[in-house]
Amino acid sequence: MQNELLKYLRKETLPTAFCAGCGCGTILNVFCHVIDEMNIDPNDIITVTGIGCSSWIPSPYFSADTLHTTHGRAIAFATGVKVMKPDKHIIVIAGDGDLSGIGGNHLIHAARRNIGLTVFLVNNYIYGMTGGQVSPTTPSSVKTATTPYGNIETPFRISELVSAAGAAYVARWTTYHIFHLRKAMKEAINTKGFSFVEICSQCPTSYGKRVGQRDGIDQLKDFRNKSVNIRNATDEQKFDPGNAILVGKLAERSRPEFVDSLIKINEQFEIN
Amino acid sequence: MAKQNKKIEILIDESLCKGCDICIELCKESVFIKSDKINTLGYYIPIPVNILNCTGCIICELICPEMAVVLKKIETEN
Amino acid sequence: MERQKYLNSLKNQTRFIQGDEAAAYGALYAGCNFFAGYPITPASEVAELISRELPKCGGYYIQMEDEIASIGAVIGSVWAGGKSMTATSGPGFSLMQENIGYACMTETPCVIVNVQRSGPSTGQATKGAQGDVMQARWGTHGDHEMIALSPWSVQESFDLIIEAFNLSEKYRHPVIFLLDGEVGHNREKLLFPDPDSVEIVNRNLSDEKVDVFVGERIPPMIEFGSGHKIHVTGSTHKNNGMRDVETMNTHDVLIRRLDDKISGNRQDIVKYEEYFTDDMDYLAVSFGASARPTLGAVHKLREQGIKIGFIRLITIWPFAQDVFKRLNPNLKKVFVPEMNLGQISREVERFVHCDVIPVSKIGGVAHSISEIYEQIENHIKL
């Protein structure tokens, strides 16, 4: 007996290479539900991905046109794809190190341009695939493979950053909040401009074990305990969440989408 | 307790399960237990022994990192 | 429609323009419909003209946040059906190398214009040079081939970039267009041809669901949106595009095929010009901006009775090794004027049996005819 939603996957690549309990698997699962419930034909999806564990969600697992690019550059490649195929759903899935570290510049410019991409940033607080080095989202004082004396840096608040850059839709959820996550993914896909969902995700192997959360379930419970809905957050928490994870919708705005504006330039030269 | 007008079946795809226990731990009705059955991947798989407690919330189906859990709601006459 | 009307409006016109601009016009003739770039001296004029004229042809210009994003957007656009190009100079070309390697590995046709300037690093930003020859060949990591062309005039900047697009489409390979600050910023006459007389080659697209990367030298291309759910990756991959890094044979077969695709087709790809090579005791070899004073010097030497021939490389990579291998073994010396410290001369050296003397000039000023003449004459007298 098989899950019908497996039809959205490249079945010959299963079982996945994800560790037992990995949040990437949950995200893939929720994504399949989303595509199914929205009745989107996978032929209308083009996934663009980078380098890292979460980049494996579309490559190879989700069955659609897939562009597996270089580290940090998925959004740049996706920009070119979107301009030439504006009617497709261009969905970028990659990690915190990929999209906010090496790829940070492309992330904020795409948000500024408001180009109609949907970005699911999988934040596992670490460079997982390479064995657990500190990432731009690793909390302070955590001992990682490259911060053996404790992380002396402060992590990015990526969703706030992307929101400030001008994205049309920004939300943050965790792999514990699967129903909210499912809804946010749908809202993001339905957004005309640049839509962004930061998905805090458990990584038992490269992160969890470094902070005493050895199983996926431990981190999921931690997400549950630490999450504060942004609607209920105090001004102080919004300014500096500390250990709390502010979840919810951070931005929803409507302004001209980049490719629409680009097409308008050409319209003045069109021969009727 | 279980709804009377719907029968719920939970199917575990043994070929995919990696024994992460998330479905067991997060089920609010304690439907699953970890069995001593080992699948071909070498993991102890969950079994929905308390299926009658299932409310059909589908947390297990949505959260399973391997898409190995499927709920089937079957209408029954009552 | 728009493009045809636009090109017809240019037909048979002459303009007095820069090499950069000529290259941009050539791209429009070639069917370029997407350009992503970043400003850099001395290449910005390419982007500026494209930003103005490409929309008139129904194409799209985007200015990206950096050169890495530019080449990334170019590659992404190609898989979505674009015929795409970017333009930069040394520092930007250095940034693009990783993604150029991605284009090689994924067999993505695209044209990268490098209007060379003095390097390394910031160097002489406003001065032309020819120091990126080896970088064009080996700038990206790993075993790979490269196609690079170098025009020597404004007219050739136009004609040759169309050939660059044709080669990139035919071979599904990135092509580096090695302009330099001299030719790029020189103003000369350009004659626009009849667009119908220009040969345009487009990629071989596959309709059927075939393994994209089949065992042939140049597999047909399937673009996104074809319904085949293709998988494109920079990782080592099997014939069907799926990643396979575990099997030694997969990598061996793939990389050798990618290399052989170019090196095995040298006869078709390599272009050059010969002058006075029927009877020569000496040979001059040059390309791009340096080739012009070299030809002048060769004429002058011939007038003095010195039997010197001249080969002008048009294709820089793959290197014209077959031409040099078949040269008269009694050739006494080869001179290579170039605006670098001897990059092409090193290649020539590999394939000839006599001394190869670089006639280098760096500092951002092109050779003069007399400079080359005197250096060659002095060496001959030794």
- CATH class, range C2-197: alpha beta
Give the number of residues written for chain A: 272
- Test mutation, B20, B44, B74, chain A, max A CBs within 10 A: B20
The pLDDT value given to residue C328: 86
Q: pLDDT tier at C5 (50, 70, 90 boundaries)?
A: very high
Domains of chain B: 6-75 (3.30.70.20)
Each residue of C232-290: pLDDT tens digit? 999 999 988 999 999 999 999 999 999 999 999 999 999 999 999 999 999 999 999 99
Q: Which chain C residues are Cβ-neighbours of A46 within 8 angstroms? A: 80, 224-225
Collect all residues from A whose CB is shorter than 8 A from any CB in C: 10, 13, 42-43, 46, 48, 59-60, 63-70, 73, 76-85, 88, 105-106, 109, 262, 265-266, 269-271
B67 contacts in chain A (CB < 8 Å): 3, 5-6, 9, 25, 28-29, 32
Classify the phi-psi angles of B33: left when phi > 0, otherwise alpha if psi is within -120 to 50, otherwise beta: beta
Residue A170 predicted with pLDDT over 80 = yes
Q: At what angle do helices A74-84 and A104-113 cross, to 10 degrees?
A: 30
Query: What is the reported pLDDT for B75?
Result: 78
A217 and B66 in contact by Cβ < 8 A?
no
Confidence class for position C210, pLDDT limits 50, 70, 90: low
Nearest to A33 among B19, B26, B62 (CB): B62
Per-residue pLDDT, B6: 73
Q: A62 to chain C: nearest residue by CA?
A: C229
Residue C69, classed as helix, strand or coil, is helix
* Contact pairs from chain A to chain C, CB under 8 Å: 135
Helices (H) and strands (E) in chain C, counts: 14, 16
Domain boundaries, chain C: 2-197, 273-381
Do A65 and C230 count as a contact with CB atoms less than 8 A apart?
yes
pLDDT at position B78, please? 54
**B41 and chain A: CB distance < 8 Å anywhere?**
yes
What token pair was written down for C128? 């032309």
Around Cβ A222, how many Cβ atoms within 10 Å? 20
pLDDT digits (tens, 9 = 90+) for A199-238: 999 999 999 999 999 999 999 999 999 999 999 999 999 9
User: What's the pLDDT at C213?
Assistant: 57
Residue owning tokens 């044979």: C249
- Inter-chain residue contact B65 with A4, CB threshold 8 Å: no
Convert chain B into a string of H (helix), E (strand) and C (coil): CCCCCEEEEEEECCCCCCCCCHHHHHCCCCCCEEEEEECCCCCEEEECCCHHHCCCCCHHHHHCCCCCEEEEEEECCC
Q: Give the pLDDT confidence of C275-301 residue by residue, as tens digits.
A: 999 999 999 999 999 999 999 999 999
User: Can you name the residues that pair with C85 across neighbouring β-strands?
Assistant: C35, C111
CATH for the stretch C273-381: 3.40.50.920
| Average pLDDT value over all residues in chain A | 97
pLDDT reported for residue B74: 84
Bridge partners of residue C274, in order along the sequence: C311
Contacts of A4 in chain B (CB under 8 A): 70
Q: Is B14's Cβ below 8 Å from some Cβ in A? A: no
**Cβ-defined contact of C229 to A42 (cutoff 8 Å):** yes
C273-381 has the same fold as C2-197? yes
Q: Is A24 near chain B, with CB under 8 Å? A: yes
pLDDT at position C208 is 77
Q: Is the pLDDT of residue A242 over 60?
A: yes
Best residue in A84, A89, A264, A270 for a mutation probing chain C (most C CBs within 10 Å): A84
Give the mean pLDDT of A189-196. Answer: 98
Q: Which two tokens stand for residue A15?
A: 């079982």
Kindly report the average pLDDT of chain C as a whole number.
96
Helix (H) or strand (E) holding A220: helix A216-226
> Are C and B touching by the rule of 3+ CB pairs within 8 Å?
no
Residue A213, classed as helix, strand or coil, is: coil
Q: How far away is chain A from the Cα of C27, in angstroms, using its nearest Cα?
A: 18
Q: Tell me, what's the pLDDT at B45?
A: 96
Q: Is B25 on the interface with A (CB under 8 A)?
A: yes
Do A1 and B21 make contact, defined as CB atoms within 8 angstroms? no
DSSP A155: P
Q: Please say if the pLDDT value at position C174 is more than 80.
A: yes
At residue B68's C-alpha, the angle toward residues B63 and B71, to 5°, is 75
C365 by DSSP, 3-state: which? Answer: coil
Question: Residue B73's pLDDT is what?
Answer: 87
CA A38 to chain centre: 19
Mutation to test the A interface, candidates C232, C235, C243, most A Cβ within 10 Å: C232
Inter-chain touch B19–A28, beta carbons under 8 Å: no
In a mutagenesis test of the A interface, which of B67, B70, B74 is the best target, namely the one with the most A β-carbons within 10 Å? Answer: B67
Contacts of B41 in chain A (CB under 8 A): 15
Provide the percentage of residues in chain A whose pLDDT is more than 70: 100
ipTM higher than the 0.90 cut: yes
Residues C349-378 have pLDDT tens digits of: 999 999 999 999 999 999 999 999 999 999
Three-class secondary structure of residue C75 per DSSP? helix
Distance from CA of B45 to the nearest CA of A (A): 12
pLDDT at A1: 62
C178-208 per-position pLDDT tens digit: 999 999 999 999 999 999 999 999 999 987 7
Contact C77 A60 (CB under 8 A): no
pLDDT along chain B (78 residues), means of 10: 70 95 96 96 96 95 97 78
* Distance of alpha carbon C303 from alpha carbon C287, whole angstroms: 22
- Chain length of chain B: 78
Say if the Cβ atoms of A76 and C56 lie within 8 Å: no
CATH architecture of A21-267: 3-Layer(aba) Sandwich (3.40)
Share of chain C above pLDDT 70, in %: 98
The mean pLDDT value for A178-202 works out to 98
Cβ <8 Å between A109 and C64: yes
State yes or no: pLDDT of C209 exceeds 90: no
Could you tell me which residues come within 8 angstroms of residue A237 by beta carbon, excluding any fewer than 6 positions away?
A228, A244, A246
Per-residue model confidence as pLDDT tens digits over C56-78: 999 999 999 999 999 999 999 99
